[in-house]
Structure 1
């Protein structure tokens, strides 16, 4: 029997998520197509790997054993490929956010002999691709859940604290700051229970819970052009809670962008890598990324804004406390809901 490694990777993703919708989103295929591929793998093996019902996905006893075997198989296959590609480094980007692109540009300028292979993956997708040996370095948000569920086998380091901004409606007057309570706050994010809830969504949920600011979840349009089109179609007055690197694009398109008046949320991006002996290409990438962060002041809270905010349980908080970066602001009680 010739075992298709692609089907094995599909199974590992479903086993990680225990949810076909989330797994399909990570793999960028449809849910019916993923279900079909998993059935094909089970037919090849002659065993049932998963138990499915309308609400839950669980591993069978054979599925649990096969998961360990599948991870080992994928790791071996990846090591075999890497040994023949010492001049290749694999990274990923999250939509059109600029952190990974800036680092990739700096790396290519310094190591023109290394060929970058680039993909598009969200934070959780990057993390699992990293552990499966499909990426060499991840630039992602490290979440409390990832740290709790995967305490060993990888390492991470804070790379950037990206300020979040409030994007107004086209035609609104320019202002330096606005209150978080002046208008409803909208987000391009997938809400809990959507089946596509991710590391970005967990950050937004923490923001709601700690500040008392309710968010309108609009889903994830993807590329900036789709986000701008959605903003231009929007009805009613609201602010869009957006990454700073996207906010710069809105400003170039003539849309007003403001700093929050009460506090300044920052989105933490981290480098992540496997806890193993690192090839020179990988260690150089990490060194160049850290140097880029220091030169650009990425590990600092925005000095021109209100006190910085991060989720209270964010794993990078410990790094900030240990460094020369001022600790994030904690607000007790929750923000006053009055304008």
Structure 2
């Protein structure tokens, strides 16, 4: 798909406009209701469907199919991110009314970082065809690791801070609690960061770890950087609303890791077959419609079996919804500190 610089700029500006509208609508800190989360989830999915339909009209069925396959894959992998987001919110005791702001900025950080990964991946793909073997092997290994982790069935999972967060915590003075939505404040003549800034960095940088498998996965479905970027953008931008919509149901998706491992393994095999085909070896070709159908089927089966398994455990209760994982802000609604511009 030949994408001009003008189309790239128009796409980025269009996405920036949508994000700005989302930010303005939710600029006032508040607890997100299921109705609000459900409405915006439908809006973002509808926008993705409209974008895919536009690709079908102006670029043809193949790019549209690649976009939908990539979007569904990235969306399903992003659900796994939500488990970690819940842990991060709990660790930093983010008050419910501030969680939507944290997720919005955190997802924006993740999108910018992913854009860098996509650019690097596109450069590797165009320069070294053998990179498909590496991507394929990595995805198959990741799939195996997911199965191993799912079988381990660890009951207690804790969020571990990455090096960036540890460095920030050691070297930058911080307040002892939240100061409204302020990221940096001045108190007693000192400039301090707040937990709000730290948790936003935690959400954004932790997503990079998930990008290590999701970016190779989508390159297994399409090598078009434009489709890779837009599929990631639409999947990530609806992640905030999805967090509030299904946050309390995440623990019922007990077979999600198995489903994701099957999908990653399938795409890994597809990448290896594509690499062999490019080397002149006669191997089966897995088309985009087949890939999309397989991914959707695996997700549907995983969801059904997960809900059935959860029903067999009537005594097991989900430990609160996404909005209930954080304790109330001990400092109260302090929205008027002296902010540092």
Scaled by the length of structure 2, the TM-score of the pair is: 0.23
Q: Relative CO higher for 1 or 2, CA cutoff 8 Å, sep ≥ 6?
A: 2
Q: Which has the higher helix share?
A: 2
Q: Which has the higher strand share?
A: 1
